[in-house]
Amino acid sequence: MSRISTSFKDVTKKTSYFITTPIFYVNASPHIGHLYSALIADASARFQKLLNPSLNIIFSTGTDEHGLKVQKAAENCKISVKNYCTKISSSYQTTFDKFDISHTSFIRTTAENHKNCVHYFWSKLQPHIRKGKYSGWYCTADETFLSQDQIELVNNVRVSKESGRQVEWAEEDNYKFDLRPFKHDLQCWLSKPDRIKPKVFHEILNREVNDLYDISLSRPKSRVSWGIPVPRDDTQTVYVWLDALVNYLTVSGYPDSKIWPPNVQVCGKDILKFHGILWPIFLIAAGLELPKQIFVHSHWKVNDEKMSKTKGNVVDPINAGCQYTESGLRYFLLREGTAHSDGNYSDLKIKRILNAELADTLGNLLNRCCGKAINPNLSYPKLDLLQIERLLADSYFIELSKKLEVLADIVGSHYEELNFYKGIDEIIATLQCCNRFFEYNKPWELAKQDVNKLKCILHITMETLRISGLALQPIVPVLADQLLNKLNINNRDWNQMTPTWKDENRIVNPTNLKKDNIVLFKKLLIN
């Protein structure tokens, strides 16, 4: 029978799984960092669905379209702000479609239903909002006021410690919200160890809680006209971050939502403060439940340098997908991306990993099983328990069998924690083990000497490919689908990840493989 780890058995008790990405700011086109955020959420949603096919998945993403930076970007492009937003938002939708991001909702903050949601949420915050003069250091590039502790002098210029961007002193009339009264409630929420993951970001937030202050919830319309008007005061527009964060409520159907709160909210480390401090405080003030978990990921460097338009090293996912295939880029980003530290994108690294793991370890193993010399009828042979008993003295088989027996548990536990790179590592280690087993048993010789044993070797190898294909579905759904189609596998749920010789209740009849000559992953040339 299947062995689902106790750490994620409770999925059968869930009726829905609600996961979000941040909404992406339309002052520039999408890059691989945006795609990575979406891939984390996509792989998680796909995994949860494999665990429980009847689960209702709510997976939201979208674009953040208000604020001064958007105004200026549209001006630079010499088109209307509305048309500019539509153009960039469409580029995100195109990118996510291209990479099989299975979102159930793509929200734009310029939509009317979002504007209505922001106005309703503002009314819930109203008892905590007061109008007055706000003064402080303002960063136009980040569209936020900063406290004295959040700025520093660099070459006699005051800049934000966090972003390094220049600040200037500003005084204006707007609406203010005091974060300090909510400190205790915020600390209680943060007291649960797995509330913010990974742990390093939980520790950062715990320090930030001690530095709460008054924030400005609006901007004068004379300065920031492209925004949602403050209810009953059209001289002010809603602070772009309040507007943006409310998108999660809009997606849920607030105020009539029955699916709140989200199970997981994915965000990059640069916007941790907004998601880990401002957002929960706003929700507390409005009398709403808080997210169950915020998962924070690090950034992507390119050849060990920070991505920037100035350096000209921003990687366009569409171009990279053309170069490495969409499955290849998905695989690389989830394989090499780690939440706790920045990933490094390099052409040589991508080619080496994809060639070694997708082309050689996985693809070549399938090709060898389909070779005319050892499998002329392209069959997936029936399990022969007598032949399995003969292999109990084979150390290569024993090692492989042990890996396959626990693969669902180990990979599932890593996927549940959104540590996809660890899950992939286990899958590849199992496939490498199978390659050693296949090589050791020399099926090309068995074809002449021992056909029954050959069939058993083929069955074990194809079982390894089948189980690996099931486990890879959240990572590379198109490639996994091609593999499982080739093997004629119809039942693809997570509970099918037990090898036949370890599952007394599973009867597998011999079948034929699909006769199409697929190449799972074409080897990339390295210059």
Mean pLDDT (the chain, rounded):
93
CA separation for the pair 358, 113 (Å, rounded): 44
Close Cβ partners of 6 (under 8 Å, ≥ 6 residues apart): none
* Overall average pLDDT of the 45-69 stretch: 96
Q: Residue 398 — pLDDT band, cuts 50, 70, 90?
A: very high
Residues 246 and 240: their CA atoms lie apart, in Å, by 10
Instruction: Find tokens 């496939």 and name the residue.
Output: 431
Lowest mean pLDDT among 11-15, 71-75, 102-106, 266-270: 11-15
Q: Which long-range contacts (CB under 8 A, 24 or more apart) does 165-170 make?
A: 165/139, 165/141, 166/139, 166/141, 167/137, 167/138, 167/139, 168/137, 168/138, 168/140, 169/135, 169/136, 169/137, 169/138, 170/135, 170/136, 170/137, 170/138, 170/145
pLDDT band at 249 (very low <50, low <70, confident <90, very high): very high
Residue 1, pLDDT above cutoff 50: no
Contact call for residues 265 and 20 (beta carbons, < 8 A): yes
For residue 71, give every residue at least 6 positions away whose Cβ sits within 8 Å of its Cβ, in sequence order, or none: 81, 224, 225, 226
Other Cβ atoms closer than 10 A to 522: 13
Model confidence at 12: pLDDT above 80: no
Range 258-275 average pLDDT = 95
**The token pair that represents 317 in the structure block:** 């996912």
pLDDT tens digits, 449-494: 999 999 999 999 999 999 999 999 999 999 999 999 999 999 999 9
Split at pLDDT 50, 70, 90, the class of 51 is: very high
Flag whether pLDDT at 123 surpasses 70. Answer: yes
The pLDDT tens digits of the residues spanning 341-394 come to: 999 999 999 999 999 999 999 999 999 999 999 999 999 999 999 999 999 999
Residue 16's pLDDT is 94
Query: What does the DSSP 8-state code read for residue 498?
Result: S
Angle between helices 395-416 and 420-441 (to 10 degrees): 170
Average pLDDT over residues 204-224: 89
Residue pointed to by tokens 């630079």: 76
Report cis status (omega within 30 of 0) of the bond before 510.
Answer: no
Cα 309 from chain centroid (whole Å)? 24
Q: Is 407 exposed, middle or buried (0-12, 13-18, 19+ CB in 10 A)?
A: buried
> CA nearest 221: which of 243, 241, 239, 237?
237
How sure is the predictor about 507, in pLDDT bands with cuts at 50, 70 and 90? low
pLDDT tens digits, one per residue of 183-201:
999 999 999 989 999 998 9
Confidence at residue 309, expressed as pLDDT on a 0 to 100 scale? 83
Q: What are φ and ψ of residue 306, in 5° steps? A: -60, 135
> Could you tell me the sign of the dihedral formed by the alpha carbons of 501, 482, 14, 40, in that order?
positive
> CA separation (Å) from 225 to 16, 52, 81, 261, 377?
39, 46, 11, 32, 70
What is the β-pairing status of strands 157-160 and 168-178? unpaired
DSSP-based three-state secondary structure for 474: coil
Rounded Cα distance between 466 and 430, Å, is: 12
Q: Could you tell me the CA-to-CA distances from 391 to 39, 118, 384, 388, 504 in Å, in that order? A: 40, 65, 11, 5, 18
Check residue 403 and give its pLDDT: 98
CB 415 within 8 A of CB 194: no
Average pLDDT over every residue of 112-116: 97
Please state, as a whole number, how many other Cβ atoms lie within 10 Å of the Cβ of residue 112: 7
Amino acid residing at 145: F
- Model pTM above 0.85: yes
pLDDT the model gives residue 4: 47
% of residues, the chain, pLDDT over 90: 80
Percentage, residues of the chain above pLDDT 70: 96
State the amino acid at position 64 in one-letter form. Answer: D
Q: How far apart are CA 77 and CA 74, in angstroms?
A: 5
